[in-house]
Amino acid sequence: MVKREDARILRTKKAIEEATVSLITSQPDFSITTLLNRAQVTRGTFYKYYQNTWHLLSEVNNNLLVEFTQHIQGQFRVAKMIQAISARAAFYNAVLNLHSDGIYFATLMSRMRTQMLTQLGNLEDEVYHRQMVYQWEAVIGAFWALISKWLLDNMDLDQVALLQEFTDILRVNTTAVSQTGLNLFDFDMINWDCDARSWRNV
């Protein structure tokens, strides 16, 4: 009985949070009433799980951050990052091109920088450390600029071609060991889902 109730709670919260993500992409200033209609839940149900809209947005953002940052542990796995963005294309297009949910992107960049510094560890050479940080900033900035343009163009390149474009721009040699900020990234291809070449639904 408890497990069944827990599953129902999870389904309800998921419905509310997915409706929130959907509204962020189309109506960033959505009202509670609009959200309730989209999620098909009552006001009482909403306040049973969330104190207010800020609490809800915090939960949604945290879940999205966890969803994305699993791909930056150890190294920044570019192919997986592209795949995660593609799966949430409408949301990332709203964040990057329509300036919705700025808190999410600021927090995401903060966590990415923390992970980058963790990767650098106890690098004693201060000059080399600074060079690596600056180079990482240049690469990650290029990554988000490319992603922003890709989403704006309705993902007119498939994910494999996009990754190839990115590595070509950076002149990445995936078979060589780099002593630059590129070493913080993993540019290897992955076993793309069979739909990887056609994920263009925004």
Confidence check: pLDDT of 26 > 80:
yes
Alpha helix stretches (DSSP H) within the chain: 2-26, 32-39, 43-49, 53-69, 78-87, 89-97, 102-120, 126-152, 159-170
CATH number of 1-50: 1.10.10
pTM of the model as a whole:
0.85
The stretch 54-68 carries a mean pLDDT of: 95
Where are the chain's structural domains? Answer: 1-50, 59-202
The predicted-structure confidence for 128-186, as pLDDT tens digits, reads as follows 999 999 999 999 999 999 999 999 999 999 999 999 999 988 877 766 556 788 889 99
The values of phi and psi at residue 118, to 5°, are -65, -40
Mean pLDDT lowest among 32-36, 96-100, 178-182: 178-182
The stretch 43-52 carries a mean pLDDT of: 95
- Residue 77's DSSP bridge partners are 186
Cα–Cα dist 37/30, whole Å: 11
Confidence check: pLDDT of 31 > 80:
yes
